A and B are shown apart, each in its own frame.
Chain A
Amino acid sequence: MAFLLLTPYNSKAAGMNLRKMPLTEIRSTNPVRVPALALAFAIGAALLTGPARAQSAASEGQKLAFDRGKGNCLTCHVIKGGDLPGSIGPELADIKRKYPDRKDLVAILNDETRRNPQTVMPPFGRNRILTEQEIDAIVDFLQTL
């Protein structure tokens, strides 16, 4: 099990990426090949507005943070709702109070070695482990902690 610890494995739910796609892109996909569930998610997401939308980004962020092939943040951090956390980094709690400016969180995720050259936290943005949008979603999630 733990041998997979840092190697990617694909646990992405089929609908997850589609949910973020703009509707036009979804329309241009052959509808027969879009799984019904994913389509339902996509339409659902498009209908969401305001706070509901932010909530969905945060839950998407949580998935990305916990996914071993993506953020895999639990390798090092205790995070509410996650199993088998490591102890290398500090517990991620009370983040909104500690980092009221989301730019600071984006920077930490992008490349923490700029703040602390000795850190072992991977430079998720710089090394393209996560895309800008994925980092955004994870930051949304962090702000709920």
Chain B
Amino acid sequence: MKLQSAIQFASAAVALAALIVIGPSAIAADSIDPAADAKAFQKYFTDKFPRLELKDFVNGPYSMNEDMRRQWQEKEEFPPYEFSLEAGKEMFSTPFRNGKTYADCFPNGGIGIRQDYPYFDGKEGKVVTLELALNRCREANGEAPISYVKDDMAALTAYMAFTSRGKPFDIKIPNDPRALEAFEDGKRYFYTRRGQLNFSCASCHVQNPGERIRAEILAPALGILNAMPIYRSEWGGMGTISRRFVTCNIQTRGVPLEPQSDEYRNLEYYLSYVSNGLPISGPGARP
């Protein structure tokens, strides 16, 4: 192994050891400190990539080196997600059969609010993601829910992200033991190995960002949701956060969860919170 990557590996191991949770039952709510976690998490990445500014991390694999960054700039000249953005805008402004629109379901008419999702809903006692809130809006207005992993959901979230570009992630964890437990549960999911290939999310996105897995460059976990949804050339289309989680689980020969299951919602809560302060950049384009 090259010396540099050996060092990176060793420091990843140390950071991971510090972050990994010993066991589910050992966690008492008062030992959960999201703010300290987020600080350590961000420091791990800025130490690992000292030449990147915090906001640079939101470009995923494209942030990882000069060559990739150039490819990204070229791509942004003719953004491949434009069709989806258009479709999303259209959907967003088309009234439901009852005459209401998506705008009626969200604060500020749904404009410029992507950075506030997911949030912890005190009444329900659970995390609510943007994708989930969109389907709840549909159902509350008598419309059938749409697939979490298909184009319509990607289009809607693309439009909502676009109206929020540049706004820093502002995820809140209220002082409620259930919210803290949701955060901790998402963190546990992120660092737990699973699947026949025995990977955790962190194996790839914390231990090996910037490395090639086959021909793909692994995105850093910091800022990993800021660009969602994404157009992937490899998919020949758009993908939501749900689609990406399911895909990454399948790649490790694990059993993917249902989109918007409690675990995925908590995972999204954790990953978004530790990226607080980094700007929304979605929709994104990826190789």
CB within 8 Å of B: which residues of A? 1-3, 5-8, 74-76, 84-90, 113, 118, 120, 122-123, 127-129
Contact = CB atoms under 8 A, between A and B. Distances in A.
Contact of A6 (B13, B211, B252): B252
B214 A86 contact: yes
B204 interface: yes
B250 A86 contact: no
Nearest to A84: B215
B208 A120 contact: yes
A90 B1 contact: yes
B65 to A, nearest CB: 12
Contact of A5 (B2, B207, B251): B251
Contact of B214 (A8, A84, A127): A84
B26 interface: no
A120 B203 contact: yes
B207 A120 contact: yes
Nearest to A8: B253
Nearest to B6: A90
Contacts of A89: 1
B212 A87 contact: yes
A113 B215 CA distance: 25
A5 B253 contact: no
Contacts, number: 67
Interface in B92-115: none
17 contacts: A1-B215, A2-B215, A6-B197, A6-B253, A75-B213, A86-B214, A89-B1, A118-B16, A118-B17, A120-B203, A120-B208, A122-B197, A122-B198, A122-B199, A127-B197, A128-B196, A129-B196
Consensus secondary structure, chain A interface: loop
A48 to B, nearest CB: 33
B234 interface: yes
B208 A6 contact: no
Nearest to A122: B197
A123 B203 CA distance: 14
Contacts of A127: 196-198
Q: 8 smallest A-B Cβ distances: which pairs? A: A90-B1, A118-B13, A87-B212, A122-B197, A120-B203, A6-B251, A86-B212, A86-B213
A127 to B, nearest CB: 5
Nearest to B200: A120
B197 A88 contact: no
A48 B235 CA distance: 46
A84 B247 CA distance: 21
Contacts of B53: none
A118 B214 CA distance: 20
A19 to B, nearest CB: 26
A26 B151 CA distance: 51
A70 to B, nearest CB: 12
Contacts of A90: 1-2
A131 to B, nearest CB: 14
A113 B208 CA distance: 17
Given A118-B207, A123-B198, A127-B198, A88 B234 contact: no
Interface in B221-253: 234-235, 247, 250-253
A31 to B, nearest CB: 36
Nearest to B16: A118
